[in-house]
Amino acid sequence: MDAKIIQIKHSIPERIRLKIYPIRLNPKASFLLEKEFENVKGIKWATANHKSASLTIRYDQVVITQKDILEIVTDFYACSGKTKVDKNSCSAKKDLEKRGETLKSSLFRFIGLSLLTIIVFTRDVLLKKPLAQNLFSPLGLITTALSVTLVKKGVENFKERRFTLESFLGLSIITAVIAGEAVAALEILWITAGGSLLQTWITERSRKSIRNILSVTEKNTYILVDGVEVEIPVEDVRPGDTVVLHTGEKISVDGMIIRGKALIDESSITGGSEPVLRETDGNVFAGTFVRQGVIFVEAEYVGDKTYLSRIFQMVEDSLENKAAIETLADQLAKNLVKAGFTVTILTYIFTQSIWRAFSVMLVMACPCATILSASTAISAAISAAAKKNILIKGGRYLEEASKANIVCFDKTGTLTTNEPEIKYLAAFSKTCEKELIQIAYSAEIHNLHPVALAIKTEAHKRGIKPIIHDVCDYMPGIGVRCEINGDEILVGSRKLMEKFSVAPVEVEMELEKIKKYGLTIVFIAKNSELTGVIGLANHQRPETGSVVSFLKNDGVDEIVMVTGDSKYTALDLAKKLNISKCYYSVMPEEKANIIRELKNNRNKVLMVGDGINDALALAEADIGIAMGAGGSEIAIEAADIALVKDDIRGIIYVRSLSHATIKVVHQNFWIATGSNIIGVILAALGMLSPVMAGLVHITHTVGIMANSSRLLFYDQPQLPQNILRRSDD
C-alpha cells in the first residue's frame, strides 16, 4: 500500500475509514471505487466521498479482514498513480476545475436563461410575433449551445453504459430542437437550471449555518518574535510560533500554554456557561475567547488543521453522505427515466401522433423534482439543525435517528453534568455542618476548581459568609492550605492529609459507607485534626427526565445506561430516571461489546456519550451522538451527530427533525410522482401542448422546493405536559 495514495485514518473492529487521495474532488473515481465493493462478500456497506477523499467501510470481520480490504483498494489503484479512472484523478487542482457548479455560477446561468425565456415569451405570447424554432434559427442555435454541457455529460454516461438523467435530458433537448420546438428545449434547460440553483442554495445555507457555529473570525493575531509582539494575519501563523493572547481576544490556533494563565470562554465548543481557568501546559482551541488574563501559546494546529476547522470539514463533507431515502429518490428518478422512454413510445404507437408523444416525453424528461424530493429536504434539515448548534454528518444519520428502537446513555457528562454538587456531609470533633462549610468556603474562595465551586454553591444556599484568610497555598491535584485567624486549614484529598500528617483512620468506616455511593471525598482539617468530610457527585441534568420520557413516548423500546461508574451510583440514577437496563463499571471496549450485543435481532441502537471512553461505543452504534463537541475530539470523530452545546435536549430535536424530514420527503414524492402521472395522462390525451408540459415541471419543482424549505425554520416541538410533570416527580 502506497502511503502517499492510501492512508488509514480511523479503524475500529468492523469499521475502517481510509484517505484515498486519487478520488479527491473526482465524483467519477469515487463512484467507481464504491461500486468495487458492492458485491464483495463480508462488506455491509461502503461509502466513498470525493470531497474529503475518504472511503468508509462497515464489514463483517468473520468473513473479511482489514488486510483483505486494503488489498482490494491497492489492486484498484496501482502504486504508480495510474488508476481505473482518468489519469488526472490524483491532481486536486485539475479536479477542482472540474468541480460542480457553485451557487454563483448556478445563479448566473439561471438568470441568463430566465432573461432569454422572458424575451421569447414576450415576443411569442404578448407581441404575437412567432419565433423561428428550427435547428438553424437563432433560438435553436442558442439553445443548442446552452445544452452542450448537459449533452456532453449524457454522452459520457452513455459510453459507460449508464443511462442517466443527463442522458435523457440531453436527448429530449436535441429531439425538441430537431423537431422545431426550440422553445420547449429552452423550457427544459430553464427548469433544470432552476432546480440546480435551488438545490445549491439550500446546500450552501447548510454550510453557512455550520460555518457560523465554527468560524474563527479573527483576521490578525500577535506572535512573539525575538521577545517582541508582532501583529500578523492569522493565515500566516505557523506551527511552533508563540501566539500572545490578551483579554478580550479570540484564540485562532490550537496549542499549549507555555506561559501565563487566563480565564477562557469555551462555550463555542463545550457549551459551558462559566469561563475555565487555563494555565501553563493547558490546551486551548481556536474559536474560544480570552475573558481575562494574558497567555503565551505555542501553536500546534493552525488554519484548516484546527479542531473546529476539521469538525467543519467533516460536517461539510457529510452533505454528500446520502440517506437511504435519498438513494431511493435517485433510483425512482432512474426508473422514471426508463419509464419515460417506454411511455413515449407507447403513446406514439397508440395515438400515431408525434406531438402527443413529444409532449409525453417532455413531461417525463425532467424527473429532477423527484431527485430533489429527498436531497433538498435533508439539506434543509441539516441547515436547521446547524442553527440549533447540532452538527449532523449526513442524511443517512438524520434518517436513522428516528428509527432507533434502543437508546443507550453514558452517565457522567451525559445524564449528569460535569459540575459536582455536595451529596454528603459529616462533621467531627464537635464541629457543626455550618462551621464545616464555612471553613471549606473560606479556604476555597479564590479557587475555580469544580469542587471549590460546588462548596461555594452550597455556602450560598445556606447563606454562609466566608472568613478572610491570611495565607493561602494552592497545591494542584491535592487541595489547598490556608491560615484563618491563626488556625491552619487543610481542604483536599487524602494525599493532602498525609502530606500534613493528618490521619483519617478513625473515620474509615464512615468513608467506606460514602464510597458505596461512588462519591468524591474531600477532607477538611483544622490544626492537624480532621474536622469533617464532604462527599460530592456530579449533578443530574434537570432536563434528563424529560428526555427519557420523550423517548419512551416516541416509540423507543428500551433505554439503557452504559457507564464506567460504580454499581451504587449507576443503579441509583437509573432508578430515578426509570431506565430499565443498566451496565456499570464497564471499560471502553466493554461498552462497544454491549452495543454490539444490543444490535442483535436487527435492533437499531443509538448511543449518546461525551468522552474518549465513549468513542468505541459511539462508532459501534448505528447512530452515535456526542454531547458537547469540545469534550473529546476522538468522540466527535467517531460520532455521527454532535451536540455542540452541552444540552441533552438536542436528542429530542434530532428525533423530531428526523420524523419531520421523512414526512416532508414522502410528501415531495407524492407531489413529484403524482404531477408526472397526471401530466402524462393529459399529454397522451392531447390536452397538453409541449409548452404546457414544461409548466407541469415548473409547478411541481417549485412546490417541492417550497415544501422542503419549511424545514429551514423547524423548531423543537413543545413537550406534552404529562412528560414535563413526570420528569419533575
Closest CA to 662 of 403, 477, 335: 403
Catalytic residue among 95, 241, 410, 610: 410
| Sign of the CA dihedral with 282 first, then 286, 288, and 290 last | positive
Residues in the chain: 729
The neighbouring-strand residues paired with 409 are 561, 608
How far, in Å, CA of 642 to CA of 386, rounded?
A: 10
3 state DSSP class of 284: strand
Pairing of β 520-526 and β 529-540 = antiparallel
Is 217 within 8 Å of 250 (Cβ atoms)? Answer: yes
Q: Which amino acid is at 674?
A: G
Instruction: State the Cα–Cα distance between residues 401 and 624, nearest whole angstrom.
Output: 9
Active-site residue, 410 included: yes
Q: Give dist(CA 615, CA 533) in Å, integer.
A: 35
Provide the strand spans (E) within 121-193: none
Is there a contact between 610 and 414 (Cβ–Cβ < 8 Å)?
A: yes
User: Within 13 Å of residue 110, how many CA atoms lie on the same side as its CB?
Assistant: 18
Among candidate residues 396, 407, 408, 320, the one with its CA nearest the CA of residue 662: 396
**Residue from 112, 114, 117, 106 nearest 197 by CA:** 106
Q: Which three cell numbers stand for residue 190?
A: 430553464
| Cβ–Cβ < 8 Å for 269, 307 | yes
**Could you tell me the CA-to-CA distances from 331 to 48, 53, 309, 562, 675 in Å, in that order?**
18, 25, 34, 39, 18
With contact defined as beta carbons under 8 Å apart, do 692 and 685 qualify? no
Q: Which residue has the cell 459507460?
A: 160
Catalytic residue set: 410
